[in-house]
Chain A
Amino acid sequence: MSHSRYVITLIALTLLLVILSLACLVFGSVDIPVGSITDIVMGEGSGNKAWDIIILQSRIPMIITAALAGAALSVSGLLLQTTFNNPLAGPSILGVSSGAGLGVAIVILAMGGSLGGLLGESVGSYIAILVGAILGAAVVLILLIAFSAIVRSNTMLLIIGILVSYLTSSVVQLLNSVATEEGVHNYVSWGFGNFSGVSAAQMPLYAGIIIVALFGSVMMVKPLNALLLGARYARNLGINVSRTRNILLIITGVLTAVVTAYCGPIGFIGLVVPHIARMSLGTSNHARLVPTTMLAGAVIALLCSLASVSSPHGIIPINAITPVIGVPIILYIILNRRRIQYFN
C-alpha cells in the first residue's frame, strides 16, 4: 500500500469534513445570510438574537455531535469486524446499539420518568442514562463473546445479533406499554436518530468520553493487526488475546453506548464506513485504517446530517437516510467480495 494513497485519502477526507461542516453551518430550516453566520462565529453577533441562538446552540453543537458520532460508530464497527473476524459485523447489526437502547429505556423508567426525556436535565440523570446505555451494550457484547465461542460460523453470529436486536426491541415495547403516551412518542422519535440531542452544556461529557475512547482505539493498532492473523497467530506474536479482546469490546461498547444514548440507535454507519476506509486505502493495516475510518465516519455522518435538514418540509430522520447510503455499499461489497482483497 503506497504512502501517497494514504496521504491523498486523508487530505481528501479532511477537505470534505471542512466543506460539509461549513455546509451544515449555512443550511438549515431557517435561512441565515452567510455574512451574519460569519459574524456570529467570529463572536460579534448578528444583531438577530434568534440567529445567534440557532448557530451557537443548535447548528454548531449538531456539527460536533454528528462528526463525533460518525467517527465513534465507524471505529466501533471496525473494532467489531476485526475482533469477530467478520467483515459484516457492526454495532447495530450485532445488536449492540439496541442493547444500549434497552439500557437507556430501563434507566429512564427506573427513574420514574417517561421513556421520552431521554437525556434528563440534571447532570446526575444523564450520567445515569449513559451508565444504563453502557451496561446495555456490555450485556449484548458479553452475550456475543459467549455465542462466538460456541458457534464458529460468522453468519450464525450475525443472525444471533439480529435476534438479540429483536429481543431487546420487544422488551422496550413491553416497557413502553407501561409508559405514558408522551413517553412512547418521544421514545419512537428517539429511535429515528438525530444529531441535535446534545446541548452545549452536555457537549463536554459527550465529546470527552468519545475522544478518550477514540484515542484508546488508536492505542490498540498493534494488537488489532495481530488479530488479522487469528487468535493462534496473535498469541504466538506475544499478544494476550483475551485481554485484547476485552479492551476492544469495552472501547466498542462505550463508543456505541454514548452515541446511542444521545443520538438514538443509528444504523449502517458502523457497518459501512470501515469498508469505505479499507477500499479507499487498499489496506487492512490498522495503523492507517483507524484514523481513516474516524475521518470517513465523521464525513458520512455530516453528509447524513446535511441531508436531514435539506427538506423544506422539516427534519428527515437520520435513520431514514443511512440505509440509502449504506445498503448499496453493502450490496456492492457482497457482490464483489471475490475481487476485494480483504475478503480473500
Chain B
Amino acid sequence: MTVPAPIISTGHLAVGYRNGKQQVTLLKDLNLSLYRGELVALLGQNGAGKSTLLRALTCDESPLGGTIEIDGKNLLEMSQKERSRLIGLVSTERIQAGALTVTELVGLGRHPHTGFLGRLDEDDKKIVHQAMVDAGIIGKADEYMASLSDGERQKAMIARALAQETPVIILDEPTAFLDVASRIETMRLLRNLAHERGKAVLLSSHDISQSLMLADKLWLITTDRQVLTGPTRQLVADGAMDRLFENRDIHFNPDILDYSF
C-alpha cells in the first residue's frame, strides 16, 4: 500500500508578524502535512499563533520563512486565482451580506470558476444547490442571510466554501459564536465533508472536548511554541494535552475529554 501524498505540506515554515522593522516569530521550523479526507483541529491557547498560522496557509499574510506546497506546487508563488481554486476559507469576519439570499451568498463561492461578470450557468447553479444540500442549509435557500441564526449563517458560509470546489477548506474559529448544539452540528458537518467528500479540512478552535471527539488529527501548539501533530487518540494517550496551557493548576482529564482543576 502506498502512502498518499499530503495535499498541503510545509517545510521549515516560520510564522509571526512584523512590527515595523521588528519581526516577531511565533512558530518556526514547522513541517506539517494535511491530507485529503481528514478533519484536523488546530488547538492552542490565545496568542499561541493559531490564526497567524492559518493566515499564512490562506496566504493572507506571508510567512516569515520556509515553504508551503499544495499538491506539490509552491503555494506562495501561485496567482490569487489559482489559489482560489485550491483553498476555501471560512472565517469569523463580519460580512455585509445581510440582504443576499443564502443562494446568492453560496453563489459567490463560484467566483473562481465564473467569467468576467460572475454570471452563473446551469452547472454552477447545480453545484450551488448541491453545496446547500451538503451543508444542510437547503431549507433556507431563499431566505435572507440577515434572517438566519448564527449556526445557520455558519452553515451557509460553509456551503459557500463547498461551492468553491476546493480540495482544502480552512476554517478560522468556525464555532466561535455558536451555542453548543450548533457547535456540535457544525463539527459533525465538517467531519462528514472530510470523510465523505474527501476534503482536507483544517480548523482552529477553542472547543477542546468537541475537537477531541470529532477531529481525526490534532495540531497542538504547546506552551513552548512547538506544534505537535498526530491522530487525536494517540496525542491524548501521550499526555500531549497537558502541554497546551501554562496554568499548572488545570490538568487534562481524558475521561471527560476536557480540563479540570
Beta-carbon nearest neighbor of A241 in chain B: B80
B176 CB within 8 Å of chain A = no
Known: A230-B94, A230-B96. A235 touches B60 (CB 8 A): yes
Complex CA distance for A233 and B58, rounded to whole angstroms = 10
**Which residue of the partner chain, among B91, B98, B114, contacts A344 with CB atoms under 8 Å?**
B98
Complex CA distance for A232 and B94, rounded to whole angstroms = 10
A343 CB within 8 Å of chain B = yes
**Which residue of the partner chain, among A236, A283, A285, A340, contacts B87 with CB atoms under 8 Å?**
A236
A219-250 interface mask toward B, CB cutoff 8 Å, 1 = contact, 0 = none? 10110011011101101111110000000000
B108 CB within 8 Å of chain A = yes
* List of B residues within 8 angstroms of A230 by Cβ: 93-96
What is the minimal beta-carbon distance from A242 to any residue of chain B, in angstroms?
11
B116 with A237: CB separation less than 8 A: no
Complex CA distance for A283 and B142, rounded to whole angstroms = 12
**Which residue of the partner chain, among A232, A285, A287, A340, contacts B89 with CB atoms under 8 Å?**
A232
Known: A222-B118, A237-B84. A282 touches B99 (CB 8 A): yes
B88 CB within 8 Å of chain A = yes
A166 CB within 8 Å of chain B = no
B10 CB within 8 Å of chain A = no
A342 with B96: CB separation less than 8 A: yes
A59 CB within 8 Å of chain B = no
B84 with A229: CB separation less than 8 A: no
Known: A230-B95, A287-B117. A238 touches B100 (CB 8 A): no
* List of B residues within 8 angstroms of A240 by Cβ: 80
B17 CB within 8 Å of chain A = no
* List of A residues within 8 angstroms of B154 by Cβ: none
What is the minimal beta-carbon distance from B152 to any residue of chain A, in angstroms?
13
**Which residue of the partner chain, among B58, B93, B104, B119, contacts A283 with CB atoms under 8 Å?**
B104
**Which residue of the partner chain, among B84, B95, B118, contacts A287 with CB atoms under 8 Å?**
B118
A42 CB within 8 Å of chain B = no
Complex CA distance for A331 and B99, rounded to whole angstroms = 20
B146 CB within 8 Å of chain A = yes
Max chain B Cβ within 10 angstroms of own Cβ: one of A82, A226, A239, A341: A341
B50 CB within 8 Å of chain A = no
Known: A238-B83, A287-B118. A232 touches B104 (CB 8 A): no
Beta-carbon nearest neighbor of B60 in chain A: A232
A228 with B100: CB separation less than 8 A: yes
A325-342 interface mask toward B, CB cutoff 8 Å, 1 = contact, 0 = none? 000000000000000111
B99 with A237: CB separation less than 8 A: no
A1 CB within 8 Å of chain B = yes
Task: Please report which residues of chain B, range 23-79, place their CB below 8 angstroms from some CB of chain A when the two chains form the complex.
Answer: 58-60
Beta-carbon nearest neighbor of A278 in chain B: B99
B117 with A222: CB separation less than 8 A: yes
A85 with B118: CB separation less than 8 A: no
* List of A residues within 8 angstroms of B119 by Cβ: 287
B80 with A232: CB separation less than 8 A: no
**Which residue of the partner chain, among A82, A237, A340, A343, contacts B164 with CB atoms under 8 Å?**
A237
**Which residue of the partner chain, among B60, B88, B95, contacts A229 with CB atoms under 8 Å?**
B95
B80 with A341: CB separation less than 8 A: no
Beta-carbon nearest neighbor of A2 in chain B: B142
B100 with A283: CB separation less than 8 A: yes
Task: Please report which residues of chain A, range 236-270, place their CB below 8 angstroms from some CB of chain B when the two chains form the complex.
Answer: 236-240
Complex CA distance for A229 and B104, rounded to whole angstroms = 12
* List of A residues within 8 angstroms of B217 by Cβ: none
* List of A residues within 8 angstroms of B144 by Cβ: 341
A1 with B111: CB separation less than 8 A: no
A228 with B97: CB separation less than 8 A: yes
* List of B residues within 8 angstroms of A228 by Cβ: 95-97, 100, 108
What is the minimal beta-carbon distance from B200 to any residue of chain A, in angstroms?
16
A284 CB within 8 Å of chain B = yes
What is the minimal beta-carbon distance from A222 to any residue of chain B, in angstroms?
3
Complex CA distance for A239 and B146, rounded to whole angstroms = 24
List 13 A-B residue pairs with CB atoms under 8 Å apart, sorted by A's residue number.
A229-B96, A233-B91, A233-B93, A236-B58, A236-B87, A238-B111, A284-B96, A285-B100, A287-B117, A287-B119, A341-B145, A342-B98, A344-B146
With A237-B109, A287-B118, A342-B98 known, 15 other A-B pairs at CB within 8 A are: A219-B117, A221-B117, A222-B114, A222-B118, A226-B111, A229-B97, A235-B80, A236-B88, A237-B164, A238-B111, A239-B80, A282-B99, A287-B117, A344-B145, A344-B146
